[in-house]
Amino acid sequence: MLNNFNKIAENYDNVESKYLKILYYDLSKGYKDTYKSYNNYRLCTILSGKKKVSVNNNTSFTYNSSEFLLLPPNSSVNMEINTDTKAVVYEFNSHLIEKISNKVEKKFADIENITKLNLSNNLSYSINNLKINIMRNEKEAKFFMDLYAQELVFQLLNEIPKEKNIQNKYNPAKIAKEIIEKDGNENLSIYEIAKILNMSQSNLDYYFKMEYGITPKKYQNKIKIKKSVNLLLKYSVTETAMILGFDNISHFIRLFKQYYNTTPKQYIKRFGK
């Protein structure tokens, strides 16, 4: 049985393909621990027994073999096992999520922090197909795993919005946008913003672009250039660029011209100080 939840321990008892990693857990009564979803979405299911969990320190709840939990990336789960439990977790590669999301024009980002959901017939069918095909030879198993992983993500995207067991949304893209727009945050890097949200910069880039169609860095530059308009009425071009956290003055001037079709100096001459 698993003694502790960590990334290294999880890699001992798993099956992995290009798009999917399947993790198996045999948990004894009385077991308690905290585990994370790391950088990918995780579909958590139970073969037998049940789990009492709280996600990101929200209200705790219990789910069993007729239900499942979908964890967004970088979630933290406090778990308590009150009866011997066997569980299987399906971890989806972020590229698979993006691929299917683009095809069906739906996003998991709309339904963050789900508590528990009922396993539908369609979801159960997709999961059972995955289980059956793991028994093939290694090469065939990985091929069919990726096929059924796509089907499973498709089913999740189509069915989850119909459920009612949804808590308040946790939308990292929205929070990042609010941080960027807040006065006084001009010098925060996107890496620092991602760190505040307990996620990698690449993951923040992915969710932000999925939500707003632009990278957080480009959006941050857009906000900075808008702020520079008022600053240029009080400060020099160099001072304005420094206030807004631009290390390269030429870069600031180039961006300003892209948005306003004029240089900062020309803008100052036109509107005066």
Residue pLDDT tens, the chain, 273 long: 444 444 434 444 567 888 898 888 999 999 999 888 878 888 899 999 999 998 887 778 899 999 888 888 888 889 999 999 999 999 998 888 888 887 777 666 545 455 677 888 888 888 887 877 776 666 777 788 888 888 888 888 877 654 433 333 567 888 999 999 988 788 899 999 988 887 888 888 888 988 888 999 999 999 999 999 989 988 999 999 999 999 899 999 999 999 889 999 988 888 765
For residue 160, give the DSSP letter: G
Q: What's the half-sphere exposure (Cβ side, CA atoms, 13 Å) at 24?
A: 11
Sign of the alpha-carbon torsion through 210, 214, 219, 221:
positive
Q: What gap in Å lies between CA 143 and CA 193, rounded to an integer?
A: 38
Q: Tell me, what's the pLDDT at 138?
A: 66
Q: Tell me, what's the pLDDT at 239?
A: 92
Fold type of domain 7-162: Jelly Rolls (2.60.120)
Q: Tell me, what's the pLDDT at 166?
A: 36
Taking CA atoms, 79 is separated from 30, 57, 85, 168, in Å, by 10, 11, 12, 20
pTM for the structure as a whole: 0.56
For 89, counting Cβ atoms within 10 Å of its Cβ (0-12 exposed, 13-18 middle, 19+ buried), the class is buried
Output the six-digit token pair for 22.
């399947």
Q: Structural domain boundaries of the chain? A: 7-162, 172-271
For residue 108, give the DSSP letter: G
Domain spanning 172-271 has what CATH number? Answer: 1.10.10.60
